[in-house]
Amino acid sequence: MATFTIDINSEINAFVISGIINPIVKNKRLLLTLKRLDFSIKNDTILIPYQTKTQIKILDEIRNLFTKFSLEYTLSENIETELESYHKEEENFEFFSENARAIRNNKFEENDKLVQQFDTFQNVLKQQMERRLYPLQLLSSFHMAFAQNSCNFAVPGAGKTSIVYGAYAYLKSLPEEDSKHVDKLMVIGPLSSFAPWENEYEECFGVKPNSFRMSGDPNISIEKKLEHLYSPNAPELSLIFHGGVDRFQTDIIDFLKRNKTMVVVDEAHRIKNPEGVWGRSVTEISKEAISRVILTGTPVPNGYQDIFNLYKFIYPFKFKEILKFHYHNLEDMTANSSLDSNRVQELKENISPYFIRIKKEDLNLPPVEETYVQIEMETYQREIYDFIESQYIEHFKEDSSATVKDILNKAKLIRLRQAATNPSLLAKTLKDWTT
């Protein structure tokens, strides 16, 4: 029986199958599978392309195929080296994950290397930042910098922005040749978050940021936005609305390929739907980021499935290995599992090294005392509001199936809120506020 050799050509990113290939070419069933792998024949060898992220998966498919059709094969030295490197990388990731878990749980005092890294981290922040982080913020920021790709599920008021800037300052301080080094920050978030990100930058570093808002200002043309993304000297801080990523997806990917960037998704529960435009576009660009950060105080508003896209963002090439549950499994878990079930506990254990959370009780906040202040509208404002309300309320009464989740009804409620808070907001279309 013929023996084949499976080799690898890293220059063209392809596996090379050599030997007497006629038995393969003449086997229709085998050929059908090879077509799915996009094979080609050159100089009596079979070439099967791969991407870096799919290299081992494609190799496993080829080996399983040969076994299925009882074809003998040997692996070249190059392949053996690649496999050894892959398994070494997997071992390193497991070791890294355990260290990340130790930092998250604040149980690394016996790990001399981590203690030394934490000391270095604190010294860098003392030199680079005007603002001083309190202990839990410092731990969260160190976890974020160490992990490089992580989620922060702290409650509102925990200082997530300062935590991010701490991690960013440390990663920026690393030598340029270091694989973790970053010198640009891209924040994807709601329009209302832009000013806080810019203001907090000044509070943290003592200088105003060199920033560019890609969303929310209709006076900034598409040409200006593209000019920003392709500029050789782009501002350090880029701000863009979740819904604005899809339109510039290819251009943002080019930007990330050319700039060492930390990408932060603020209010990340807005990208939880893997089939939604926002979710797809944001996770797609994450593949080119040096560092990836998820920020949200409500990671699972509808169920465990909401965690799927968040982890797809921070680890686009390893999220399935980390979660160990498919999307439909997580949906089923939401519907049929109690909080203390084995499946839920397994999921928490799987994801725990890569997230950290500051809870409300950690903040030692005084009891909340709500004070309601009623402010009368000006005459013209009341006229505008009453007119809009009369039109929309009638519509809701006539259409008993109308829900707040309907896009049209969402828009109507937004208009009512704008009229109640600041009628000048009505001068712009809703699209102008989101692009």
Whole-angstrom distance, CA of residue 238 vs CA of residue 187: 6
Query: Model confidence over 92-138: pLDDT tens digits?
Result: 899 999 999 999 999 999 999 999 999 999 999 999 999 999 999 99
Whole-angstrom distance, CA of residue 180 vs CA of residue 194: 25
Adjacency order of strands within the sheet including 211-213: 211-213, 237-240, 184-188, 261-265, 291-295, 149-152, 355-356
Cβ atoms of 216 and 433 closer than 8 Å: yes
Residue 46: its H or E element = strand 45-49
Residue 12, phi then psi, degrees to nearest 5? -110, 5
Query: Model confidence over 242-300: pLDDT tens digits?
Result: 999 999 999 999 999 999 999 999 999 999 999 999 999 999 999 999 999 999 999 99
Mutual angle of helices 28-36 and 55-68, in 10-degree steps: 170
pLDDT of residue 412: 76
CA angle 321, 322, 326 (to 5 degrees): 70
Whole-angstrom distance, CA of residue 121 vs CA of residue 139: 10
CA angle 213, 244, 184 (to 5 degrees): 45
Residue 17: its H or E element = strand 14-18
Q: Is the CA virtual torsion 426, 429, 432, 435 positive or negative?
A: positive
Contacts of 103 (CB under 8 A, 6+ apart): 114, 118, 139, 142, 143, 146, 147
| Structure tokens that stand for 240 in this block | 């863009």
CB 114: neighbour CB atoms within 10 A? Answer: 18
Cβ atoms of 212 and 290 closer than 8 Å: no
Residue 199, phi then psi, degrees to nearest 5? -65, -40
pLDDT of residue 308: 96
Whole-angstrom distance, CA of residue 76 vs CA of residue 72: 13
What is residue 179's three-state secondary structure? coil
Q: What is the pTM of this model?
A: 0.75
Buried b (16+ CB within 10 A) or exposed e, 334-373: eeebeeeeebeeebeebbebbbbbbeeeebeeeeeeeeee
Whole-angstrom distance, CA of residue 180 vs CA of residue 199: 26
Query: Model confidence over 193-245: pLDDT tens digits?
Result: 999 999 999 999 999 999 999 999 989 999 999 999 999 999 999 999 999 99
Whole-angstrom distance, CA of residue 264 vs CA of residue 187: 5
pLDDT of residue 390: 82
Confidence of residue 85 (pLDDT cuts 50, 70, 90): confident
